[in-house]
Amino acid sequence: MYKGFRTWVLLLVFHTLTVAVWARRGRRNVLFIIADDLRTSLGCYGDSLVKSPNIDQLASKSQVFLNAYAQQSVCAPSRTSILTSRRPDTTRLYDFKSYWRVHSGNYTTMPQYFKSKGYLTLSVGKVFHPGIASNHSDDYPCSWSIPAYHPASFRYEKKRFMCKGEDGKLHANLLCAVNVTQQPGGTLPDMESTDEAVRLLKSRAGDDNPFFLAVGFHKPHIPFRIPQEYLSLYPIEEITLAPDPDVPKLLPPVAYNPWTDVRRRDDVQKLNISFPYGPIPKDFQLRIRQHYYAAVSYMDAQVGRLLSALDELRLSDSTVVVFTSDHGWSLGEHGEWAKYSNFDVATRVPLCSTFLGSPHTVTGVENDKVIKNMVELVDVFPTVSYLAGLRAPEPCPDEELCTEGDNLAYTFQRPERGENEEAVSFSQYPRPADTPQVPPPESWATLCTWDYRYTLWLGFNPNTFQVNVSDVHAGELYMLASDPGQDNNVYSDCDHSVMMTKMTRLPPTVSLQMRMKLQLLYLSAGRKRKA
């Protein structure tokens, strides 16, 4: 009897160890790459001018989401939203001035979740937004196994005088192509971050314990302090202006972003541009666009170094790679520059995810596909968790670990079945006034579908964090099939007043997102009847 009991115990131990080893092998590493202020100006998104061979190569092996949207076009709110899978209305972070764990709730972040499952979690560069928005610690030790790494050369990015002007003197310029050998330390921040990320990857090669490595590149964020040789990829005579460089006639003043951060740069101040709508001279517009594209190519080269390291270290087959951006950036569309708006160019971002080793690395999961339906960056956390072999967080309202997004893993498992009219993205941007001001403003929200972009600017109480859905300051409605650039606002105050009367019958518990969905259905049906 004792012998049989011992055999049973040995079998149980063997089974337990086998399950543990299988579980460990079943979990995949994660390389999460996030760019700063990168719009969909990439070859894999159909931009014929931009040279982005490394990201394009990644996309060729990836699930590419053509219509992925950030929840707010500002760094700190967007990054917090991505990493917690909560919307800005939940994190209550619309700027850079609060830490969500204190200000809103002790929400579990994506790296924190992986850490709790035995992963070594590592942060390099700009992942969380630095400062109070991440508790002056990049949310360490909650999210990361060791303190986050920041490149030493980034402090020079913040120095007042780093860019050599046409007069040969140093200025705080927007356009800042440099000779890297003449920079402090002979390097630049994204180069340093790549060096550190490659070093960390080398330290993980041969280790069975899984890792979650997040790498945040600073470019193409301004100033365009980049290696000067990348400008040669974009001869100025080949650069064109934005197809819609003028402020739309029917654009509500509250919707306009006066790009104050760009105006503060020395080389832009010299242009004496009138506030708020005065256009930048065309020759300078071309140079801004040239420098932005060059910054994209410079960042792309760093991505290439990371992916090459994965291959050389034979980590590709066991690693989920995710590439995205915190939000987009306007390059003269609608007479705007920078971010801080709800237009497509400011909220739409690249998003792709892959298993680099093989398009069939996981049973039932296929890569090398394009998804055209709307998705959101709050979807990243649950999707990456599932692809890495963990249980995806359940939909909220659990207080610490839940998601306000969707697990997109199903999109890897079957072909997309045409347009999903129910798929929407929801973005928002606060403003404190109905007209452009310095400093930029507080009001609200955009719903984007296949056919429409619908925006309402609503009253908001910053003390109670409550939106007044009946206090409508302005509205925008764009028909994307005939107006993809969103230049012709067909929103009607008359139609809206009738619709709002109908909306008063809804119970107060109905969310803003659902209200806007219902309103859009009403407005679109009305336009179809008129047509």
Q: Known catalytic residue: 402? A: no
Alpha-carbon distance values, 36 to 64, 366, 440, 528 (Å): 19, 29, 20, 39
Identify which of 291, 218, 293 has the alpha carbon closest to the alpha carbon of residue 37.
218
**CA–CA distance, 371 with 375 (Å, rounded to integer):** 9
**CA–CA distance, 326 with 78 (Å, rounded to integer):** 6
Query: What phi and psi, each to the nearest 5 degrees, are found at residue 355?
Result: -105, 110
Strands (E), 188-282: 211-216, 224-227
**CA–CA distance, 223 with 106 (Å, rounded to integer):** 34
Assess contact for 222 and 261: CB atoms under 8 A: yes
Alpha-carbon distance values, 336 to 163, 295, 414, 477 (Å): 24, 19, 39, 19
Amino acid 398: pLDDT: 76
Q: Known catalytic residue: 129? A: yes
Q: Which secondary-structure segment (H or E) carries 277?
A: none
Assess contact for 40 and 348: CB atoms under 8 A: yes
Active-site residue identified among 44, 75, 352, 402: 75
Amino acid 144: pLDDT: 98
**CA–CA distance, 517 with 506 (Å, rounded to integer):** 13
pLDDT truncated to tens, each residue of the chain (531 aa)? 434 433 333 333 333 333 333 334 479 999 999 999 999 999 999 999 999 999 999 999 999 999 999 999 999 999 999 999 999 999 999 998 999 999 999 999 999 999 999 999 999 999 999 999 999 999 999 999 999 999 999 998 877 668 888 888 889 999 999 999 999 999 999 999 999 999 999 999 989 899 999 999 999 999 999 999 999 999 999 999 999 999 988 999 999 999 999 999 999 999 999 999 999 999 999 999 999 999 999 999 999 999 999 999 999 999 999 999 999 999 999 999 999 999 999 999 999 998 654 443 333 344 448 899 999 999 999 999 999 999 999 999 877 899 999 999 888 877 787 888 788 999 998 876 766 755 433 456 788 898 899 999 988 887 888 888 888 888 999 999 999 999 999 998 667 777 777 777 788 888 888 888 888 888 877 666 565
Assign 473 to helix, strand or coil. Answer: strand
Q: Which residue ranges form the domains of the chain, and what is each CATH number? A: 27-411 (3.40.720.10), 424-528 (no CATH)
pTM for this model (two decimals): 0.91
Active-site residue identified among 44, 129, 291, 352: 129
